[in-house]
Structure 1
């Protein structure tokens, strides 16, 4: 997911216009800002609480679409335009195992 526009931010989180660039984005999903090495950022996860498309709430949206989303994360003001938010992996890759 990529930030296209910062709509508003406050001490509890923020509202952003975003573009889905990889995979399906679901409400309740967590993201790791700042790096693509998600395993290093477990203390700094952003939780997506709301997705709005065409002035109505939806549960998900997919690549190449945009939406207004709300995150719960205090330092949301540090997110800027074109900032990419990699999805937090829910599984761990073990080298040498298939």
Structure 2
């Protein structure tokens, strides 16, 4: 069931770089529109999101250009920041929600 307050949904394809509070990933937008500045929660199972995991989308690169958003069905290289980046791995879905 689709949640009306979902802004953007990204699926992690690969993690290219990771530090304690940052990660660079290749993602596919699988729902909504993901924008820089959005805060995300993560899940490895459908409809099971850990609200305690919070990461922020800080940069989106498509075709070598920095852009403000990514929408379905496009791929992008993105930078995330926050304590929750340790959970990012192939197949994980991250979701941003409206307040």
Q: TM-score, normalised by structure 1?
A: 0.79
| 1:17 alignment partner in structure 2 | 26
* 8 Å contact from structure 1 (residues 3, 17) kept in 2: yes
The reply to whether residue 2 of structure 1 matches residue 11 of structure 2 is: yes
Which of these two proteins has the greater Rg computed from alpha carbons?
1
| Partner-residue secondary structure (3-state), 2:86 | helix
Give 4+ residue runs of structure 1 displaced > 2 Å after superposition: 34-38
Q: Quote the offset at 1:74 in angstroms.
A: 3.2
How far apart are 1:67 and its partner, in Å? 0.3
Q: CA deviation at 1:77?
A: 3.2
Equivalences for residues 42-57 of structure 1 within 5 A: 43-57=52-66
TM-score, scaled to structure 2: 0.78
Report if the CA contact (8 A) 1:3-1:82 is conserved: yes
Where does the alignment leave 5 or more consecutive residues of structure 2 unmatched? 1-9
Q: 2:96 aligns with which of 70, 73, 87?
A: 87
> How many residues get paired?
88
Aligned residues: CA RMSD = 1.8
